Amino acid sequence: MPGCESVREPMRLRVGVAEDLPFVMATERLPGHERLTAQWSLEAHRQALAQDDTRYLLAHRPRDGEVGFVILQPVADRHEGTKLKRICVNPPGQGLGALVLRALMDWVFVTLPTDRLWLDVFTHNERARRAYRRAGFTEDGLLRAAYRLPDGATADRVIMSVLRSEWSA
Ligand SMILES: CC(C)(COP(=O)(O)OP(=O)(O)OC[C@H]1O[C@@H](n2cnc3c(N)ncnc32)[C@H](O)[C@@H]1OP(=O)(O)O)[C@@H](O)C(=O)NCCC(=O)NCCS
């Protein structure tokens, strides 16, 4: 597990493969994550991984190994751009997310023919919203009562995006 002293090490992203799915599933199932992000079955992950419009990226650093993952889906929609479907880091709340988001924005705008990277996040996920804002995302709008949480409650979601022109500025 990474320590604070290694937060300055460069974050690298590599395209994920089937062998990464145990790490992905364990990370999205960390305690407390069930109210913050969806948790897919192995079969759902396998199906997503096999789709042309989906990309898994593993965040890693030489000293720590894997520290998080990102799912992009769709990878590059002609109209809406690239959706950051899911991001999880381990451990959260220690600055890793900021590093992964910075590396992700570079990867997306250098690698993909997309002008927009976007996501939706629960309004109650204040930690993620702060990380996205800090990375340069703007809040575009609100989807009210637009998700059913595992405990049956409904949650609001905020749409956030960053444009290629903002990334390159
Ligand atoms: C979302 C996530 C990737 C962000 O990564 P992270 O490493 O936790 O984020 P960082 O530490 O870089 O930044 C978090 C920000 O929230 C703040 N923060 C930390 N804990 C917090 C908390 N419990 N409540 C509110 N804000 C908090 C930090 O101070 C920081 O703000 P700042 O940049 O203004 O100082 C990570 O928290 C995670 O994996 N969460 C679980 C899954 C999830 O929520 N995914 C997103 C679904 S849309």
pLDDT digits (tens, 9 = 90+) for 111-155: 999 999 999 999 999 999 999 999 999 999 999 999 999 889 999
Q: What is the residue with the minimal CA distance to atom 23 of ligand 1? A: 127
- List the end-to-end C-alpha distance of the chain, in Å, as a whole number: 34
For residue range 74-112, list pLDDT tens digits in order. 999 999 999 999 999 999 999 999 999 999 999 999 999
* Helical residues (DSSP H) of 35-163, grouped into ranges: 42-49, 96-111, 126-135
Question: Whose C-alpha lies nearest to ligand 1, atom 37?
Answer: 92
Write down all domains in the chain, each with its CATH number in brackets: 10-168 (3.40.630.30)
CB-based contact 47:79 (threshold 8 Å): no
Q: Which pLDDT score, from 0 to 100, does residue 6 have?
A: 53
Query: What residues flank ligand 1, with Cβ below 6 Å?
Result: 33, 36-37, 87-89, 92-98, 119, 121, 125-128, 130-131, 134
Would you give the DSSP letter of residue 115? Answer: S
H-helix or E-strand containing 7?
none
Q: Nearest residue CA, atom 6 of ligand 1?
A: 97
pLDDT over threshold 80, residue 2:
no
**Order of strands across the sheet that contains 138-148:** 12-15, 55-61, 65-72, 82-89, 116-122, 154-163, 138-148
Confidence at 7, pLDDT banded by 50, 70, 90: low
The DSSP bridge pattern shows strands 116-122 and 154-163 to be: antiparallel
pLDDT band at 10 (very low <50, low <70, confident <90, very high): confident
Rounded to two decimals, the pTM is: 0.94
